[in-house]
Amino acid sequence: MVVGNGNCRGRSQPERHFDGMEQSRAELPVRRRHLGGMERKPTFFTERTLADFLAVSDRTIRNWIRRGELPSYKLGAARRIDPADVEDFLARHRDEAS
């Protein structure tokens, strides 16, 4: 939470943050650029993103989960799949005969 100084004329005045530290407006874009510039890859797959990644249908993913072949986490109505579990699943289903 930022508490403004009541100055609405766009001057670069320090602002007080909830922890008592001051920060000028000139410093804010650097922080935003730093956070926005970080490359974020998805931590967990959804059923749809995993289906796209593996080039299979959503139903196939749900069947693997239902049969216990692919572990998942149920978060409310959403289901998430850990990439490490996907790697294990793929390793178990690797076709060595080819």
The range of the structural domain enclosing residue 14 comes to: 2-37
- Cα three-residue angle 39-40-45, rounded to 5 degrees: 150
Q: Check residue 47 and give its pLDDT.
A: 96
- Kind and range of the H or E run holding 22: strand 22-23
How many domains, in total, are found in the chain? 2
Q: What's 6's DSSP letter?
A: S
Q: Is residue 23 part of a domain?
A: yes
| Token pair 């490490």: residue | 84
- DSSP assignment of 53-98 equals HHT--HHHHHHHHHTTSS--EEETTEEEB-HHHHHHHHHHT--TT-
Same domain, 57 and 85: yes
Q: Check residue 43 and give its pLDDT.
A: 87
Q: What is the dihedral of CA 53, 59, 60, 66, to 10 degrees?
A: 120
Q: Is residue 97 part of a domain?
A: no
98 residues of the chain, pLDDT tens digit each: 455 555 555 555 555 544 554 545 455 444 444 445 556 665 899 999 999 999 999 999 999 999 999 999 999 999 999 999 999 999 999 987 65
Q: Is residue 85 part of a domain?
A: yes
